[in-house]
Structure 1
Amino acid sequence: MDAPLSRSAATTPPATVLAWDLPTRIAKWLLAVLVGLAFASRYCGDGALVWHQWNGLAILVVLVFRVLWGLVGGSTARFSRFLRGPGAVLSYGVAMLRGRPPHFLGHNPAGGWMVIALLGVVGAQALTGLFTTDDIAVYAPLTNVVSDETMARASAWHQQIYPILLLLLGLHVAANLAHSFLGSDNLIAAMITGRKPRGTFADRDPATPGSVARAVGCLVVAIATVFGGIALAGGNPFP
């Protein structure tokens, strides 16, 4: 029979703590894959445009889910937890330049606003895509409820947002790689496993996960919002 654990061994805290809950991580990686597929389908000829539209609809569902989860999800997923004022962002930037940035369990002040910027720009790209057409065979879900002028304007915005999105994605990837390989925070590993090594963090430790039922509810509401909203507007939610 194995010897009983000593009191000190039984009470030793785990080496890692929860940083991000599972729904947050799934939404992040799913959005990354969908955006990548949307970019790829954009260059695969006219036959791929229908898949490009389905990618856009799926992106909108994930975005709406992430906004809802940012209100009711796990502690580090909530916007109220990681969105801080300009002073906090400036202080964090100065600390970074001095090589002594504080460690955050969730998003740091600069990273939190990068999340919002990415959600906003990806959302704008997907929303303008609802009104675009190739003028030949493929019409987006809401082209039948707007004028030709509106379609042309939306198509122009859809193209103009594209390089802005690429720039933000490049900055986001570069920042994560720098933190992971040059700093003390392996953000890429943490966003995969959901955990970080135990330490002293500037935000609360450990994170609290959101409930599965709440995540499923947010997903259902997100799907209904995207497809139901298009249908209620008089569009075609199924390309």
Structure 2
Amino acid sequence: MQQLYIWDFPTRLFHWLLVIAISSQYITAELLDDAIQWHFYGGYFILGLLIFRVLWGFWGAYYAKFSHFIVSPQSAWRYSRTFTSPDYKPSVGHNPLGAYSIIFILTVLLTQSISGLFISDDIFHNGPYYNAVGEETQNVMNWIHHQGFNAVWLFLGLHIGAMLVYKFAKKQNLVISMITGYKQHKNALSTTPTKNHWIKFVIFSCLSALVVYLVVVTFAPAVADDFYY
């Protein structure tokens, strides 16, 4: 077994910033009093992270690209059937089942971020597009936003369970790999290590921040309620 650099720095940074951001969203919404405005800020930050990850998924590092790890449902099913067999072969990057979990959580979080733009705490704080839609749309977005976090909890439970299975059943420490970027692989010499692509990282980070600013500030309708601030 040899160490192979798989997870580039931007991918790892995205992962851990997302963990921190989701945790802070729960704290600001459920545990702290009068922290909803910070909850909105956290939502904008997560939206920026998601935009970056989509860009990185198309034009970023090799193992982070969607084209590298997204496979057909048939391939994912075949992978799951070999998981407990002697013929099991660990994936260099994301495995087929992990690929679908990534698509799931990105979709859920993107839905959460977008729906959060249209909701209100019914007191002082409104999303930037709350007053741009009718009451029926506000109610739908509010329902989606609050129910969507149940899907986030489901994913987190499955994600932690999967990490424990891989650690104890397959002897693969996914947490350490996502911290260091390195994974153990039998054929490391025949596998191309990833690259960090620093210029793309800076460009995509700035572009993501710009898109969030345009969505939240520039294109948002004027707020009539003085209490919004």
TM-score after normalising by structure 2: 0.91
| SS of residue in 2 equivalent to 1:197 | strand
| SS of residue in 1 equivalent to 2:42 | helix
Match of 1:213 among 191, 199, 207: 199
Q: Are 2:106 and 1:142 aligned?
A: no
Partner of residue 210, structure 2: 224
Q: Distance in 2 between matches of 1:99 and 1:178?
A: 16
Partner of residue 97, structure 1: 84
Q: What is the CA-CA distance between 1:233 and the residue it aligns to?
A: 3.9
Partner of residue 192, structure 1: 179
Q: Are 2:21 and 1:58 aligned?
A: no
**Regions of 4+ moved over 2 Å:** 97-101, 233-236
Q: Distance in 1 between matches of 2:46 and 2:24?
A: 10
Q: Distance in 1 between matches of 2:100 and 2:210?
A: 27
Q: What is the CA-CA distance between 1:110 and the residue it aligns to?
A: 0.6
| SS of residue in 1 equivalent to 2:4 | strand
List gaps (5 residues or longer) in structure 1.
1-13
Partner of residue 94, structure 2: 107
Contact 1:76/1:106 (8 A) holds in 2: yes
Q: What is the CA-CA distance between 1:145 and the residue it aligns to?
A: 1.5
For each residue in 1:145-202, what CA deviation from the matched residue of structure 2 results, as whole angstroms up to 9, or x when unmatched?
A: 112221111101111112111101110121012112321321111111000124138x
Letter in 2 for 1:229: V
The structure with the larger Rg is 1
After superposing the two structures, state which structure 1 stretch, 135-144 or 85-94, moved more. Answer: 135-144
Contact 1:74/1:207 (8 A) holds in 2: no
Q: Distance in 1 between matches of 2:49 and 2:19?
A: 10
Q: Are 2:59 and 1:72 aligned?
A: yes
Q: Are 2:45 and 1:32 aligned?
A: no
CA-atom RMSD in angstroms: 2.0
Q: Distance in 1 between matches of 2:2 and 2:85?
A: 28
Q: Distance in 2 between matches of 1:97 and 1:196?
A: 21
Q: Distance in 1 between matches of 2:91 and 2:131?
A: 47
| SS of residue in 1 equivalent to 2:148 | helix
For each residue in 1:114-141, what CA deviation from the matched residue of structure 2 results, as whole angstroms up to 9, or x when unmatched?
A: 1110111111112111111011111112
For each residue in 1:77-109, what CA deviation from the matched residue of structure 2 results, as whole angstroms up to 9, or x when unmatched?
A: 000000011121011100013354211111001
Q: What is the CA-CA distance between 1:26 and the residue it aligns to?
A: 0.3
Identity %: 31
